[in-house]
Amino acid sequence: MKIFKSKQKLQKEILYEKNISFVPTMGSLHKGHEFLIKKSKKIGGKTLVTIFVNPKQFNKKSDYNNYPRNIKNDLILLKRLKVNFVYIPNKREIFSFKPNKSVFLDKVSKKLCGQFRKGHFEGVLDVVNRFLEILNPKRIYLGKKDFQQLYLIKKHIQKRKIKTKVIACKTIREINGVACSSRNKRLNKKQLRIASQVYKFLFKIKKKSKLNLNILKRKILRFGVNKIDYLEIYNVESFRKGLKLNTNTNIFVSYHLGKVRLIDNI
């Protein structure tokens, strides 16, 4: 496993690599990241993982500062998974150049998380666009937990005619049903139990075709959730709001447990 902090040294190393699978992360790696990496290795070629906590996608400086970081443990895991390349840039490395392609921000960015995290998706796409230019990967692996982000990155790549293929991977969950997330490390045992209750409740009621979302919100708040940002039904193909559940729709939820904001789609 080769570790790079310099963009120039990394690009020199991968200059003639035509089959790179890219797994972008903000570190504090978990089973979801591990699944993406293992899937990329099955395809063949070289696997490249980035670790970069992107300041532009955080609405609050305190959230950025409190985001869990553990580079030492991350590198141990990546070495065990036999990742080929790890790129750990600093902010200057990433933001010191003007990308050749501008960011395409689909109108979907204004929905769901976009309503509550102003500038979040602009920040995400800015950095992903920069990484794609630096690395020129054949594939990028993204999880469906962050479905809105996945949708927007895919639209950007299509619109800007970037040759990287998006590989969407299923949401990986803990034994209690909670979607794997680095933010879970900031939850205490009681909050993890509440998150598990929310997931199991939504999974169970998804079997119904028509739902009263206001009643569902009240029930979720009774579990001990501090605040709900949104609870909506969306078509996963068109990303249009729906009224009924079917094979093409998911329940999208964002809620707060203490100072931790969680998202999921079921």
Contacts of 45 (CB under 8 A, 6+ apart): 17, 19, 20, 21, 138
Six-digit token pair at 116? 């509550």
Beta-ladder partners of 22:
48, 140
Each as own residue / partner, the long-range contacts of residues 216-225 (CB below 8 Å, 24 or more positions apart, any chain) are 220/253, 220/255, 223/194, 223/197, 223/198, 224/190, 224/191, 224/194, 224/257, 225/194, 225/198, 225/255, 225/256, 225/257
CB neighbour class for 34 (10 Å; exposed up to 12, middle 13-18, buried from 19): middle
For residue 30, indicate whether it is catalytic: no
Give yes or no for a contact between 143 and 265, defined as CB atoms under 8 angstroms apart.
Answer: no
The DSSP string of 55-79 is: GGG-SSHHHHHHS---HHHHHHHHH
d(CA 29, CA 57): 18
How far CA 56 is from CA of 60, 135, 170, 174, 223, in Å, comes to 10, 20, 26, 29, 33
Of 30, 33, 120, 156, the catalytic one is: 33
> HSE on the CB side for 208, CA within 13 Å?
11
* Residues known to be catalytic: 33
